[in-house]
Amino acid sequence: MRHTLTLSAAALAAILIAPAAQAADLTLGKKLHSENCIKCHGAEKYSAPDRKVNSMSTLKTYVQGCATNLSLSWFEDEVEAVATYMNKEFYKFK
Ligand code: HEC
């Protein structure tokens, strides 16, 4: 009984901690971005006056879209890490 309670508390903690873990993925995001994403466009595209991305969710859609075009088959957390890095470095959405 007591054991079960401990386990579910740990599971709950993992859920609560998850967003903080994503924030710590900047290093991964930076690495993935520099290895895969600067062949066609550089940062100038992200700050161009006619840029398409105008929110965190469109940013994720574009990251996913470009990654899919490149056949990278990234997992959700890799897309998330790159979007988080790009937001911090270039887009700066709140
Ligand atoms: C094969 C060339 C190519 C590569 C490599 C590439 N992209 Fe793109 N990307 C494009 C093109 C073309 C556009 C413009 C599409 C448009 O304007 O609708 C674009 C647009 C974007 C935008 C939107 C820019 C804006 O604000 O208008 C984002 C974000 C983006 N790419 C992210 C990435 C990421 C992340 C990677 C690495 C996984 C990547 N791209 C790799 C071709 C590429």
Residue 51's CATH number: 1.10.760
Nearest CA to ligand 1 atom 3: 40
Q: How many domains does the chain have?
A: 1
Per the structure, the complete domain to which residue 80 belongs is given by 25-91
Supply the pLDDT for residue 71.
Answer: 97
Q: What is the pTM of this model?
A: 0.81
In a domain, residue 77? The reply is yes
Q: Which residues line ligand 1 (CB under 6 A)?
A: 33, 36-37, 39-41, 45-46, 51-53, 59, 62-63, 66-67, 70, 72, 82
Above pLDDT 90, what percent of the chain?
A: 70
- In ligand 1, the atom with minimum distance to the C-alpha of 54 is 26
Mean pLDDT of 33-39: 96
In a domain, residue 36? The reply is yes
Distance 45 CA to ligand 1 centre (A): 8
Residues contacting residue 93 through CB under 8 Å, at least 6 positions apart: 55, 56, 59, 87
